[in-house]
A and B are shown apart, each in its own frame.
Chain A
């Protein structure tokens, strides 16, 4: 029976800090073995939700269950089932890496006979073996981050919750962590929040976008794209004039935009980006139409998949618009607009 239960279950979760609704009635589920990305601008309520899931913070109302066990009723039991890496990855600066992991293994109730082996294993997986005798306070950010990740996966938890695990890592380490997270697929359920959107897209099965304490979109990256992206983008390399391209495109789509048309390179080819409203595949029509056009020569043509970033921006923008109208109605003081603005500039 227990196998069928979702690993994480959140129902109508509310958390108020004074007048501010940090989390405002969100509900979602994470199935066993799934990797789910948690996206949202700063101050959206991601960390608060994660803290409530780990039993560290109390919810104002709502139900959270980890592996079927309600967090509020039995916080001690759920702590045996989770591996949590908090925001900013706090670590005791005076201990050495191995010492710290040994202590954590002991308090996470890892059986004594497996302890040393498991510590070696996680250090190997997180590429920490070289740094095992170094003092944590003197480690670089990348190493510290990996110590936090090693700690989270140490005791084979059923659910892993990581708050921005890839912050401060270089591209090599990011790839390593991505592989590491991918290797957990099917064995453990993972909930990660991140600002690095390509990361989330590459490693997550499902994405939950949250803004202003509410879920504004959830599903696979493909589903989200369908829901939020309203145009199809083609990139092509073309020899000819922009006016003749415009003329050639008329029979294919009534409305279209040429977003970009670069200067011709030494061979006379320019890069162009065409945006056609609506989601439909008109690649074949484009090829035949451009081939028939006498004053245009095409070197390459490809459809550009909208990056998750666009989905994220579209979803959060949409939610702000509704938030603004709500606020105008209620004449409440706006709280979440400011951090949201900075987030857009940071991600774009």
Chain B
């Protein structure tokens, strides 16, 4: 892992000097700001029990659907299309270093974007009536969930990107994987209605893969280790698969 930090630095530098990074960040914050404002308007009309922050985290999948493919589709596919993967894989770096550096650079950017949305909560709590109770735990839980689930979504995206040389295909595959994981994972028990008598294991599995439920749990302060294990193990598995694909296709050591 000697070159990991060199590669990571180069990846981050490429992100920093690329205008599309800023455009994507602007769009992300615009949409998130808009969503947050809609939530506040809703709350102004009709007071609710849970804090607006909790509702905000329930909508985490909206930006994930478009940000994750946008962020990751370039990573390996672009290098392959432009041919720079050949110069990269013929120097003493390993496929593991390449994949991990790309993943970490993407993750840092993703985390930074979400960190910016922290300002929404700050603004909100600095302008609410003084007698309202400030409860930081849903916010901490919500961001913890974003951080943990981010590893999986980005590793899905990186995996999609290592499979192809076309960024478009990488983007579509990445979207499908993320969409599949969130939507099918959350509604697995309902899909299981197709069975005449629902087997017990489907129910059990559906409980584990319910992404929406996980986000709800975390943002209401329940830190569930089962979810952490699921996201961490799945993201490691997909990163490992990405390394294998890169090694197979580009002959890395």
- Where the two chains meet, the residues of A that have a C-beta atom closer than 8 Å to any C-beta of B are 51, 54-58, 74-76, 79-80, 82, 84, 86, 88, 90-95, 99, 103-104, 106-109, 151
Contact = CB atoms under 8 A, between A and B. Distances in A.
Contact of A56 (B18, B89, B93): B89
Nearest to A57: B251
Contact of A109 (B82, B83, B92, B251): B92
27 contacts: A54-B90, A55-B253, A56-B90, A56-B250, A58-B251, A75-B253, A79-B90, A79-B91, A79-B92, A80-B92, A84-B90, A86-B90, A90-B82, A90-B84, A90-B86, A91-B84, A92-B82, A93-B82, A94-B14, A95-B17, A99-B13, A106-B3, A107-B6, A107-B93, A108-B91, A109-B2, A151-B87
B10 interface: yes
Interface string B60-99: 0000000000000000000000111011011111100000
A86 B89 CA distance: 11
Contacts of A108: 91-92
Contacts of B14: 92, 94-95
Contacts of A82: 90
A99 B6 CA distance: 12
Given A74-B253, A107-B92, 11 more contacts: A75-B251, A76-B92, A76-B94, A91-B84, A91-B87, A92-B82, A92-B84, A93-B82, A94-B17, A95-B14, A107-B7
Contact of B253 (A79, A92, A95): A79
Contacts of A99: 13
A55 B84 CA distance: 15
Interface residues of B, number: 24
Contact of A107 (B17, B91, B250, B252): B91
A58 B252 CA distance: 10
Contacts, number: 66
A92 B17 CA distance: 12
Interface in B1-41: 2-3, 6-7, 10, 13-14, 17-18
A93 B84 CA distance: 10
B213 to A, nearest CB: 42
Contacts of A80: 92
Contacts of B13: 99
A66 to B, nearest CB: 12
B83 A86 contact: yes
Instruction: Choose among B17, B84, B86, B94 the residue with the greatest number of A CB atoms under 10 Å from its CB.
Output: B86
A56 B253 contact: no
Contacts of A94: 14, 17-18
Contacts of A54: 90
B6 A103 contact: yes
**10 tightest A-B CB contacts, nearest first:** A90-B83, A76-B253, A86-B86, A54-B90, A84-B90, A90-B84, A75-B253, A79-B92, A106-B6, A80-B92
Instruction: Choose among A86, A88, A151 the residue with the greatest number of B CB atoms under 10 Å from its CB.
Output: A86
Contacts of B2: 109
A93 B82 CA distance: 9
A95 B88 CA distance: 15
Instruction: Choose among A51, A56, A80, A82 the residue with the greatest number of B CB atoms under 10 Å from its CB.
Output: A56
A45 B250 CA distance: 18
A86 B83 CA distance: 8
Contacts of A95: 14, 17
A94 B83 CA distance: 14
A56 B84 CA distance: 12
Nearest to B247: A75
Nearest to A53: B90
A339 to B, nearest CB: 20
A139 B230 CA distance: 48
Nearest to B84: A90
Nearest to B97: A107
A99 to B, nearest CB: 8
Contact of A55 (B6, B17, B87, B90): B90
Nearest to A58: B251
A56 B92 contact: no
A86 B84 CA distance: 9
Nearest to B94: A76
A51 B253 CA distance: 14
Contacts of A103: 6, 10
Given A76-B94, A107-B3, A108-B92, A90 B87 contact: yes
Nearest to B252: A75
Interface string B220-253: 0000000000000000000000000000001111
Contacts of B94: 76
B246 to A, nearest CB: 12
A88 B81 CA distance: 12
B84 A104 contact: no
A95 B6 CA distance: 15
A336 B250 CA distance: 25
A106 B87 CA distance: 14
Contacts of B252: 75
Nearest to B6: A106
A86 B90 CA distance: 10
Nearest to A72: B251
Contact of B83 (A88, A104, A107): A88
Nearest to A109: B92
Contacts of B7: 107
A84 B91 CA distance: 9
A94 B94 CA distance: 23
A151 B91 CA distance: 11
Contacts of B250: 56
